[in-house]
Amino acid sequence: MNKHNMKVLINALLDGDQAVALEETKRLLENGEGRERIISDGVEAAMTRLDNKCTADQFNLLEIMLAGRAVTAVIKELYPPAVPPLQTKGTVVTGTLEGDVHDLGKTILKGVLTAKRYRVVDCGKDCPVEKMTDVAEIEAAMAICVSGLITTVIPQVRLLRTEIVGRGLGHIKLIAGGAALKQGSAGSLGVDFVADTAFDALHYLESLMEMQK
């Protein structure tokens, strides 16, 4: 197998330069580079670099959004419908609960998790608790990530726990994030983890994967 330098792709992803990232992906494929390696050494490596750069004090949402957009385009290029899908680590359901229509947070999370080989099923905004639980059950999700910018959704976050436990899905981990939810503690919200940033959520999921090994 050819071993191509991934530097150009990594830098393009870090710069959020979608056009260059796509061009480089095509070039790598044409030169015989494997899809898996482009993901592991290119896309995942770029996201790890971005993760290291984004400390709690210097979290740059715009930068991650741009990288996420480029990652999505690269994955689409690598795995068109005709190609067997990317092997993922697990499925994560995201969404904002009924009454909350801010979706920037989950867009960011989707980009970060997708780049790290998680399959993300987006329930969209303003999603009822029952629907989110249905989706998590159907998709055999390992976790549900809810984002919330308004405190009035907090009772629904608590309801989500009741709903998943009541339906025998207590093994699904609940992660909360977003400006309103991160003011609360995991205990008070009834979730397993409160993520300060999208990378924080990723680290938690990775720790779950480690425990499963």
Contacting residues toward other proteins, per CB under 8 A: 16, 57, 59-63, 65-66, 69, 99, 101-104, 107, 126, 150-152, 154, 179-180, 183-184, 188
* Tokens read off for 14: 């870090």
Q: Shortest Cβ distance from residue 135 to other proteins (Å)?
A: 22
Q: Shortest Cβ distance from residue 60 to other proteins (Å)?
A: 5
Residue (151 or 162) nearer to other proteins, CB? 151
Taking the mean position of all CA atoms in its chain, how far away is CA 106?
Answer: 8
Residue (35 or 102) nearer to other proteins, CB? 102
What's the CA gap between 146 and 173, in Å, rounded? 11
Q: Shortest Cβ distance from residue 152 to other proteins (Å)?
A: 6
Could you report how far apart the first and last alpha carbons of the chain are, in Å? 29
What's the CA gap between 118 and 64, in Å, rounded? 17
Q: Shortest Cβ distance from residue 5 to other proteins (Å)?
A: 26
At residue 169's C-alpha, the angle toward residues 166 and 174, to 5°, is 100
What's the CA gap between 103 and 107, in Å, rounded? 6
Residue (138 or 179) nearer to other proteins, CB? 179
At residue 185's C-alpha, the angle toward residues 181 and 189, to 5°, is 65
| Of 141, 133, 17, residue with least CA distance to 88 | 141
What's the CA gap between 84 and 6, in Å, rounded? 23
Residue (30 or 57) nearer to other proteins, CB? 57
Residue (28 or 198) nearer to other proteins, CB? 198
Q: Shortest Cβ distance from residue 161 to other proteins (Å)?
A: 16
